[in-house]
Structure 1
Amino acid sequence: MDLQLTNKVVLVTGGSKGIGYAIASAFHKEGAKVAIVARGKEALNDVQAKLKENIITIQADMTIEIEREQVIEKVLDTYGTIDILINNVGGSNGSTTAETKLELFHEAFELNYFSAVHFSKLVLPYLKEKQAGSIINISSIFGREAGGKVTYNSAKAAMISFTKALADEAIKDGVRVNGVAPGSILHPSGNWQRRLDENPEKINKFVQDEIPAGRFGTADEVANVVTFLASEKASWVVGATINVDGGQSKSNF
């Protein structure tokens, strides 16, 4: 299927590894011009070497407001516009609510939630001007139900709510906002690979007990849904956050 993404300018946050890299690579294969932002310079250099053309990499700390603004400036200086924003950057911290310092809640929200809100606000004027474009927020099935760490769950729940709120505002100006909620995804740089290496028996039992499809998902399977949602093939999908989880979620909505 031709998703008609050739020469579209796409910004992927947290795009140097794992799901983010798979998303960036999928857009690149579709002929898009991709800007990848991440904190680690070495990983960004690896991405640049792999994808080579029609790509820029930007080193930035996405918990810092001024650096987020500088990212958008660099994308515009390089490509002149932006068509698609993928708010993918994220991470978890802390443990139980009682044992987690309040500052860790602030850190989790700055990375997982406020970065997405801020980047969305920064790109919206350019998308509205052309009456077209797409914003996709990568949340988690644990934004809808218990399962992950409380800081992460709370931030991802906020992201799902924000996705719907912004979608209803932006569609009037031709801009579609949606989300993708991955389940347990196995990739070399992720927590599930580390846990599998440490205790394969325990993790294999988890897979059999908790994932109806009987296996982990892959980063490419998430990326395939993201690229479709960003394309005009998904023109009537507005404000949805779609589970990509092999049936893992216990939620029925």
Structure 2
Amino acid sequence: MNLQLNGKNVLVTGGSKGIGKAIAKAFVEEGANVAIIARDLVHLKEAKKELGNIVLYQADLTEKTERERVFRQFIHDFGSLDILINNAGGSNGSSVMETDLSLFYEAMELNYFSAVHLSQLAVREMKKKQSGSIINITSIYGRESGGKVTYNNAKAALISFTKALANEVAPYGIRVNSVAPGSVLHPTGNWQRRLEENPEGIRKFVQEQIPAGRFGTPEEIANVVVFLASNKASWIVGATMNVDGGQSKMNF
């Protein structure tokens, strides 16, 4: 299927490894002009070796001034923005009572406020062209219990934000949606670490909790993202799509 993404200007946050890198690669393969943002310069350079003709931006997206700086640089370099992928994120802490309040703030800044702020900046640019697509990478654990509480809280907020912004900007030709992955295995992710620490326990988790009988791959998430960003998905607005091999317990 030709997704008609050739020449589109795409910005992917958290794009140097894992799901973010797979998303960036999928857009490159569709002929898009791609830039990625990450904190770690080493991982950024490794991603460029693998992906080729992409632009790298090193920034700490928990900082408001850094988000503004890197966004201005993107517009300077590319001229306009067609697609924003808010993928930057991570988990911290443990149970509610054992997690310091500062970690709740940290999780919200990385997983939620970075996406909100960059979306605001993106919409201002996209309105000029009366078109655009914003996709937030959330989680099935933003819709049901599971995982760490700080992460779940932030992803739940991001799912709610996705719908609110989508309804607000749809009249301007801008579509906002989110993709909610289930458990995805990749070399730099938490599931890989857990698998190495407790292989039998993780195999049992997969057998009992994921009907498909295996972890997902970053590429399987990326395939949904590029479709959702394309005009082939033009009637999908404000949706959060589970990509989880049946793992979620939800009925919708």
Alignment of 1:97-246 (within 5 A): 97-246=96-245
Runs of 4+, deviation exceeding 4 Å: none
Counterpart code for 1:172: P
Counterpart code for 2:14: G
Counterpart code for 1:124: V
- 3-state secondary structure, aligned to 1:22: helix
- 3-state secondary structure, aligned to 1:217: coil
Does residue 48 in structure 1 map to residue 48 in structure 2? yes
Counterpart code for 2:190: N
- Looking at structure 2, the residues matched to 158 and 51 of structure 1 have their Cα atoms a distance apart, in angstroms, of 32
- Looking at structure 1, the residues matched to 67 and 204 of structure 2 have their Cα atoms a distance apart, in angstroms, of 41
Mind listing any 5+ residue stretches in structure 2 that lack a counterpart? none
- 1:178, CA displacement in angstroms? 0.2
- Looking at structure 2, the residues matched to 73 and 244 of structure 1 have their Cα atoms a distance apart, in angstroms, of 32
Residue 19 of structure 1 corresponds to which residue in structure 2?
19
- Looking at structure 2, the residues matched to 35 and 66 of structure 1 have their Cα atoms a distance apart, in angstroms, of 19
TM-score by length of 1: 0.99
Does residue 69 in structure 1 map to residue 72 in structure 2? no
- 1:48, CA displacement in angstroms? 1.5
- 1:199, CA displacement in angstroms? 1.4
- 3-state secondary structure, aligned to 1:180: strand
- 1:52, CA displacement in angstroms? 2.0
Identity of aligned residues (%): 67
- Looking at structure 2, the residues matched to 212 and 224 of structure 1 have their Cα atoms a distance apart, in angstroms, of 20
- Looking at structure 2, the residues matched to 85 and 132 of structure 1 have their Cα atoms a distance apart, in angstroms, of 12
Cα deviation digits, residues 41-60 of structure 1 (max 9, x gap):
0000111122222x100000
Residue 78 of structure 2 corresponds to which residue in structure 1?
79
TM-score by length of 2: 0.99
- Looking at structure 1, the residues matched to 153 and 42 of structure 2 have their Cα atoms a distance apart, in angstroms, of 31
- 3-state secondary structure, aligned to 1:186: coil
Residue 31 of structure 1 corresponds to which residue in structure 2?
31
